[in-house]
């Protein structure tokens, strides 16, 4: 916003140059294809919903997974309002065995954006993600690399990229690559074995 104001001749007295996760930019790193079945675990308010829907197209499926029931209802309302017919909001808990309510070996890709640091039972979640991904399926993690100006997780909740790699590699995933995810985030791609 402040860069835009400066461009139009307004004097900006104070700015904090921060770039956060931009769904269209970050999702381009997911390498999804039309027809893919994808789940956004921790979909929240649906930040990635539209871009995922557009990317997988009418033959694909997006599961917008959320543990907070009121948010699931809002996701459903958004889908109806935006005519996003390939999205299925799900009330689920990936910290429980079979808690995602998605059948085994269903997904081509699973996505966690700003969700990993919130999980208490990360090992259980990794097992559940492994269960729902088909062999060779992608797991894409975007999470905070630091706490910035009071935003993001507290230092004790921060999950480093290295800790993320250890967690998922110890639960049947192979680390493939890092990808850009914004100034204060890391992006990691894994493949289910």
Residue 143, H or E segment = strand 133-144
Q: What is the pLDDT of residues 91-109, one digit of tens each?
A: 999 999 999 999 999 999 9
Is the pLDDT at 4 greater than 80? The verdict is: no
CA of 122: how far to CAs of 50, 59, 149, in Å? 27, 32, 26
- For domain 20-192, which CATH number applies: 3.40.50.150, 3.40.50.880, 3.40.50.970, 2.60.40.10? 3.40.50.150
Give the residue extent of every domain in the chain: 20-192
- Over 83-140, what HEC string results? CCCCEEEEECCCCCCCCCCCCCCCEEEEEEECCHHHCCCHHHHHHHHHHHEEEEEEEE
CA distance 27 to 61: 15
CA distance 116 to 93: 13
Between the two ends of the chain, the Cα-to-Cα distance in Å is 43
Phi, psi of 128 (to 5 degrees): -65, -40
State the DSSP code for 13: S
Q: Give strand pairing partners of 179.
A: 187
Whose tokens are 């204060």? That residue is 184
Q: What is the pLDDT of residues 23-54, one digit of tens each?
A: 999 999 999 999 999 999 999 999 999 999 99
Q: What is the pLDDT of residues 114-142, one digit of tens each?
A: 999 999 999 999 999 999 999 999 999 99
Q: What is the pLDDT of residues 58-86, one digit of tens each?
A: 999 999 999 999 999 999 999 999 999 99
Q: Give strand pairing partners of 38.
A: 62, 109
Name the pLDDT band for 19 (thresholds 50, 70, 90).
low
Name the pLDDT band for 151 (thresholds 50, 70, 90).
confident
How crowded is residue 23: how many other Cβ atoms within 10 Å of its Cβ? 15
Is the pLDDT at 9 greater than 50? The verdict is: no
What is the DSSP code string of 23-77? HHHHHTTS---TT-EEEEET-TTTTTHHHHHHHH-TTSEEEEEES-HHHHHHHHH
Whose tokens are 């791609």? That residue is 189
């Amino acid at each position: 916003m402040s860069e835009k104001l400066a461009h139009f001749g307004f004097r900006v007295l104070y700015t904090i140059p921060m770039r956060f996760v931009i769904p269209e930019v970050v999702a381009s790193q997911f390498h999804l294809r039309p027809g893919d079945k994808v789940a956004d675990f921790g979909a929240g308010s649906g930040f990635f919903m539209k871009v995922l829907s557009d990317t997988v197209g009418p033959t694909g499926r997006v599961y917008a997974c959320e543990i907070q029931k009121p948010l699931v209802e809002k996701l459903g309302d958004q889908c109806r309002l935006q005519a996003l017919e390939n999205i299925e909001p799900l009330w689920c808990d990936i910290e429980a065995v079979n808690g995602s309510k998605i059948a085994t070996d269903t997904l081509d890709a699973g996505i966690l954006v700003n969700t990993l640091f919130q999980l208490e039972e990360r090992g259980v979640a990794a097992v559940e993600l492994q269960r729902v991904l088909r062999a060779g399926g992608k797991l894409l993690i975007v999470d905070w690399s630091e706490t910035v100006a009071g935003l993001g997780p507290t230092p004790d909740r921060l999950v480093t990229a290295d800790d993320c790699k250890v967690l998922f590699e110890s639960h049947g995933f192979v680390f493939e690559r890092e990808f850009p995810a914004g100034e204060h985030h890391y992006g990691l791609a894994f493949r289910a074995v």
